[in-house]
Structure 1
Amino acid sequence: MRSSDPEEILRSGKGVCAGYSSLFQDMCSRAGITCISVNGYGKGAGYQVGQKIPDESNHAWNMVFLEGRWHLLDSTWGAGNTSENSSKFTFMYNEFYFLTHPALFIGNHYPDKKEHQLLQPTVSRKQFEQFPFWKGSFYNCGLLAFHPETGIIYSENGKVSVIVESQQDLQYIFDVNGNKHGVMKLVKCGMELDVYLQRTGDHELSIYAMQPGSSNKYTWVLGYKIICTAVDATMRIPKCLNNPVGPSWITEEAGLVEPSYPEPVIHTVDGRCTLSFKTIKDLNFLCSLDSDEIKITSNMERRHVFLTQTHDKVEMKVQLPSQGTYVLKIYIRPEGSKSSYDYLCNYLIICTNPSVKWPVFPMTYDQWGRNFELVHPLEGVLPKNTNIPFKLRIPDVTKVCFKGNTFIPLTFSNRGYWEGTCSTTGHEKLIVMIQYNNTNSWQYLLEYTVSK
């Protein structure tokens, strides 16, 4: 056992919490500051959310009398932290534990004497045991509050919800026993998390936070214990889903505002949905569809989403190939850039209708651009031996035609659309081509396949 004698602690540079406390008290005494040591229970390394607090003390800290009132501090935790097995101490100054407000200090310090809480009314032992698990990192990251306020959460049909509020926009990650079975939405100055448990029993939920753009790692800020007695077998979180989900301050900063679907999960009855954003920056978009339930081939991942973009709006039509749970991923890059697309966000799309079976959209080429609109046909696979009417809005071009076995021109109508009818008889593919003024070359725009 290490000594708690102040002179020995100072000489050796080593000591446990009682040594830190006694040395701090001795230093205050020499400086003429009234200080006492406080014994009690600290939720330190090895603590599990919801565990019963033993009667015997496991920690020591101090109270100092300054400017007419008492203050709390923990010089041990303020100096650094230990690893989970308490085998290594890392020196890392943490100002939070010096002159901490009593209402915050009580979150993980329970003194043997209630008057040492410096609270009115005082917190009972049972209340202390039921707190979620957090430390100074919670407030150092600028977090303000959390809900639920009890450390043990009972799931409802396998689902629990957690809300965290902060002073500013932060980035978050979470895990439940090392897994990511949840949907996290970033909101202004906080986040909302729905956890969907995959099995009954006890689970540990850990939440981490980080300043946007920070080079530092995510910091653990909050822990809960979840007790699950039933599981919703219909709700499964795909492994390909990236949290956070849905629009957020991140998409706003990128230049996408006023989302048509502000929530991260989209439920569709007929297997179709149309998402849109107002765009306040010049961006190019790329979208793909993914799923853990069916095999999404390279031909499918982008052809079940059709993009239409104007100068201030982007629209994404989605048609699911079958019932199931899907992830729509959205990528962006600045207009005119030749760099690769950067991932921006994703949505969770759920359809339980077994009759859903939508075909792919037509394949778009690079020339499919801003202010282009496809009215019909939207089906990428056309029936054989059929006359198909076409209607497109393609501004600033001289000619538009079909290319199959022959070239078939479309006509520019007085309504501002290129229109025409094409027979699929004898064609395996139909390609829509465009020609700009003062050029003799044709550029590919859309490609359709004719069913066999």
Structure 2
Amino acid sequence: MGGSQQSRHTAGGTDGGHGANPYFITSVKPGVQAMKNQRQLYRKMDKEMTLVDTFWEGKKSLMKDFEPFKLLDQHAIKTPSHLKGDMADLVQHLIGPAKNPTQKYRVLFRWIAENIAYDVVGLRAGAGVSTAQEALQTGVAVCGGYVDLLKKFCEIAELQFDSVNGYDKGANYYVGHDNLDSCSHAWGLIYLGGKPFYCDPTWAAGNVSKSTNTYTKEWREHWFLAEPNHFENTHLPNDQSETTSRQKDQSLESWNLSPKIGPMMYVMKVSLTQREGVLHANEKNEIDINLKMEVLGSIQHFLTSKSTDFKEDIGYQVMHFWKDNKITLHVRLPGPGTYKLDVYATKTLNASTASEGSEMHDKLVTYTIIGQSAKRNTPLNKRRFGSLPPDVLKGFACVSHTKPIIETSTERVVIEYSCPKDGDLLAKLSTENQPTVALKNRMYHERLKGKHAFHIHLPRAGWYYVYFHNDPKSGQYTQFAVFMIHFTGQSSDTNPVFPEGIKWNPLGIYYESNVKCVSHKSSYIRLTKGEGSLAITRPFQSNCPLKFTLNDINSDKFQKSSQLIFAHSNFGKNDLEKSSVSLRIDEAGFYVLHLFIRQTLAMRWLVVCSKGYDGDLFPPSDDSWGPSWDDFKALDLSMTCDAMVNIPNGQHTLKLALGKKKNLTIVGKLVEANGRENLSYQKAVRVDDSDSKFRDIVINLPDEVNEACLELYGCDKSNGNSFPRIGKWLLIRK
């Protein structure tokens, strides 16, 4: 059907292949932008717009003050219907308030759009109204009737107007159309200030739905003094002399193969990466289409098939997501064939200055996509994925992944989200086949400072959905983002792996003490054959020991924790204390490792043990191994070895470095690993004090001993203090 534009839910476009074009970008740069910069970008893009802000520069030059045109619109709409009996009287009445040619043309154009409906019935019968007099009498017309009436009006008003016949990218059109004769159309050129301006009174008046074949009256400002790039993309004259010089070298073939762009392409200042209008999907029948936007808005998309004459939206075969100011549309075709993708955009305008209504929602771009593979893709569960700009502006943004489609060959995935101070996040994991059924025990939620981490363990290969819900402050959670995970490997554990209902996050004293975990980026510790370790650092604090405890996930009892944990500290540069915890767990299961500072819980880690340790556990101990740092500091001592010391063949020498205090007495004592005295150990250790800078701790383990505990005692002889224990070390024969 020439002369009417497709319903907003089935039509769109890009510029037609001539010269340098403002609608195209050459590439989309990858990379992750910092959250702060991303929010600043969206604030800059989130412009408050009036209707005049959407005009191109040529239109703005003729309509600098929009208020008179709003009054003229109302004058045209309220004109008495009985004036239609005499065309000349009608025109004189309409242009009465107009003060210049642009205002004259506006009121005439607006009256036609308001009073002439598209002749759907006549077109179907092959005899649509196409003359000015018939259009005025019947109130209906096809495109030729709209243009002929506007031309007659302009002649009476002494305005220069040319009618143009050619092709359009309207309701019957798809990119690469194989029968352009069915896309015939008529429009006009109005000359104002000696310059030609495009106009399409048919498309400005409303649209015809291809699916229902019904007309809807809807004023569309864009087609009055239309933006040239867009208009030339959607209109091509039969006679190239009936156009501006810009389009004279445009061939019918290149025009037909260019993406179809819609009015919102100019309003939203959108650029495209794909210059071709006919795109070919890959061997998986998938394709990515990228859009770059300078103005913040929202989009919708509809996929239709040539097999149904492009009438029915297939639904949920296209997903879109934002990355900075770029939108990616990921298309998964349901099978081989020819498809049309229509993309729409919405930008809310300033209601006080909009002509009619406060929101613009119209076509952005249309592509034809050809699928040649036999691969069939199941529908998606959602259309919108990832974080949207409004949520990013509130402080919710994914900081671990640039795309909401995660390809992985391992069963473990971590998705991290930033979160505002007073906000919160929740998440749900499900399979593609059962998107509404949550997988239990497959994800745990870790709350960290300024962000949340969601740790996921996938049971088997396949596609998964992760649904995120946010709550800025109100206590009401709403779904705001969806991710897809494609797991192509094999899982080592098909049983549930994470307990439910426990919140994993550092507490206030953890941050107050400047504690940093240097071995793990999360609160998740997975053991290998029952063994694992953890390391943290903090500035040295006197009389502030750290304490670690371990308990079963379902129990508050700690009877075995001392034998499962080997906690020790070492003193590094710049008064930095490094504390390490080695774990040996003899039973598979879930455990919680707690860190206490000043007897206050500071942090907990989830420990997952899939197979128990089959060797000896650690000796029981009521306190930490290694140096007693308060005493080491007081005596100005240092020792570089770990608290667990391997003794090759039972013989070894440890060096204890002295500081400024040289008048020290160091005593070594060997006891059983569990701390009990044993007389046979009395001669197993001696201290050599012949060197003024060091004390050599010489160890000779008895033949029958595989593990023992070395205790050191020290005394400053200058003040006669007693001999406190200044540390203990676990010795293991190797």
TM-score (norm 1): 0.77
Q: Work out whether residues 78 and 98 of structure 1, in 8 Å CA contact, stay in contact via their aligned partners in 2.
A: yes
Q: Say whether residues 1:210 and 2:346 are aligned partners.
A: yes
Counterpart of 1:274 in structure 2 is 414
Counterpart of 2:177 in structure 1 is 51
Counterpart of 1:162 in structure 2 is 289
AA aligned opposite 1:272? R
Q: Say whether residues 1:226 and 2:369 are aligned partners.
A: yes
1:82-109 deviation line (CA, Å, top 9, x unaligned): 2216843222111211222333212222
> For the structure 1 residues 2 and 362, does the alpha-carbon distance in structure 2 shift closer, same or farther, using more than 3 Å as the test?
closer
Structure with greater helix share of residues:
2
**Secondary structure in structure 1 of the residue aligned to 2:225:** strand
Counterpart of 2:336 in structure 1 is 200
Deviation at 1:164, TM superposition (A): 2.2
Deviation at 1:447, TM superposition (A): 11
> For the structure 1 residues 312 and 73, does the alpha-carbon distance in structure 2 shift closer, same or farther, using more than 3 Å as the test?
same
Counterpart of 1:103 in structure 2 is 229
1:329-361 deviation line (CA, Å, top 9, x unaligned): 2222235x543x221212222221135436544
Deviation at 1:376, TM superposition (A): 5.8
Deviation at 1:223, TM superposition (A): 2.3
More displaced stretch, 343-352 vs 255-264: 255-264
Counterpart of 1:30 in structure 2 is 156
1:371-395 deviation line (CA, Å, top 9, x unaligned): 499756558xx99xxx8999899xx
Counterpart of 2:396 in structure 1 is 256
Deviation at 1:63, TM superposition (A): 1.3
Q: Work out whether residues 336 and 373 of structure 2, in 8 Å CA contact, stay in contact via their aligned partners in 1.
A: yes
Q: Work out whether residues 387 and 398 of structure 2, in 8 Å CA contact, stay in contact via their aligned partners in 1.
A: no
> For the structure 1 residues 194 and 378, does the alpha-carbon distance in structure 2 shift closer, same or farther, using more than 3 Å as the test?
same
> For the structure 1 residues 399 and 237, does the alpha-carbon distance in structure 2 shift closer, same or farther, using more than 3 Å as the test?
same
Deviation at 1:126, TM superposition (A): 1.0
1:133-188 deviation line (CA, Å, top 9, x unaligned): 34435445x25333423322122212322222333122223343313234422234
Q: Say whether residues 1:133 and 2:271 are aligned partners.
A: no
> For the structure 1 residues 48 and 187, does the alpha-carbon distance in structure 2 shift closer, same or farther, using more than 3 Å as the test?
same
**Secondary structure in structure 1 of the residue aligned to 2:254:** helix
Give the aligned CA root-mean-square deviation in angstroms.
4.4
AA aligned opposite 2:218? M
Q: Work out whether residues 319 and 385 of structure 2, in 8 Å CA contact, stay in contact via their aligned partners in 1.
A: yes
Question: Whole-Å Cα distance in 2 between the matches of residues 57 and 304 of structure 1?
Answer: 55
> For the structure 1 residues 377 and 150, does the alpha-carbon distance in structure 2 shift closer, same or farther, using more than 3 Å as the test?
closer
Question: Whole-Å Cα distance in 1 between the matches of residues 418 and 183 of structure 2?
Answer: 59
Residue pairs, 1:8-27, within 5 angstroms: 8-27=134-153
> For the structure 1 residues 66 and 216, does the alpha-carbon distance in structure 2 shift closer, same or farther, using more than 3 Å as the test?
closer
**Secondary structure in structure 1 of the residue aligned to 2:459:** coil
Identity, in percent, stands at: 20
Question: Whole-Å Cα distance in 1 between the matches of residues 216 and 434 of structure 2?
Answer: 48
Question: Whole-Å Cα distance in 2 between the matches of residues 419 and 55 of structure 1?
Answer: 79
Q: Work out whether residues 145 and 165 of structure 1, in 8 Å CA contact, stay in contact via their aligned partners in 2.
A: yes
Deviation at 1:113, TM superposition (A): 0.9
Question: Whole-Å Cα distance in 1 between the matches of residues 411 and 256 of structure 2?
Answer: 47
Question: Whole-Å Cα distance in 1 between the matches of residues 245 and 418 of structure 2?
Answer: 50
Deviation at 1:50, TM superposition (A): 1.8
Q: Work out whether residues 107 and 134 of structure 1, in 8 Å CA contact, stay in contact via their aligned partners in 2.
A: yes
TM-score (norm 2): 0.50
Residue pairs, 1:332-371, within 5 angstroms: 332-334=470-472, 337-339=474-476, 341-357=477-493, 359-365=495-501, 368-369=504-505, 371=507
Counterpart of 2:615 in structure 1 is none
Q: Work out whether residues 9 and 19 of structure 1, in 8 Å CA contact, stay in contact via their aligned partners in 2.
A: yes
Q: Which has the larger radius of gyration?
A: 2
AA aligned opposite 1:322? R
Question: Whole-Å Cα distance in 1 between the matches of residues 421 and 485 of structure 2?
Answer: 26
Structure 2 stretches lacking a partner, 5+ long = 1-126, 305-313, 351-357, 511-516, 537-546, 570-577, 612-734
More displaced stretch, 154-163 vs 414-423: 414-423
Structure 1 stretches lacking a partner, 5+ long = none
Residue pairs, 1:63-78, within 5 angstroms: 63-78=189-204
Question: Whole-Å Cα distance in 2 between the matches of residues 212 and 418 of structure 1?
Answer: 56
Residue pairs, 1:46-445, within 5 angstroms: 46-54=172-180, 58-84=184-210, 87-120=213-246, 121-136=248-263, 138-139=265-266, 142-157=268-283, 158-177=285-304, 178-211=314-347, 219-231=362-374, 239-240=380-381, 242-257=382-397, 259-292=399-432, 298=438, 300-301=439-440, 303-334=441-472, 337-339=474-476, 341-357=477-493, 359-365=495-501, 368-369=504-505, 371=507, 375=523, 402=551, 407-408=557-558
AA aligned opposite 2:373? A
AA aligned opposite 2:403? E
Deviation at 1:408, TM superposition (A): 2.5
AA aligned opposite 1:290? S
Q: Work out whether residues 238 and 292 of structure 1, in 8 Å CA contact, stay in contact via their aligned partners in 2.
A: no
Question: Whole-Å Cα distance in 1 between the matches of residues 256 and 281 of structure 2?
Answer: 19
**Secondary structure in structure 1 of the residue aligned to 2:204:** helix
**Secondary structure in structure 2 of the residue aligned to 1:99:** coil
> For the structure 1 residues 317 and 217, does the alpha-carbon distance in structure 2 shift closer, same or farther, using more than 3 Å as the test?
farther
Question: Whole-Å Cα distance in 2 between the matches of residues 280 and 271 of structure 1?
Answer: 29
Deviation at 1:66, TM superposition (A): 1.3
Question: Whole-Å Cα distance in 1 between the matches of residues 605 and 273 of structure 2?
Answer: 51
Q: How many residues align?
A: 432
Question: Whole-Å Cα distance in 2 between the matches of residues 392 and 296 of structure 1?
Answer: 40
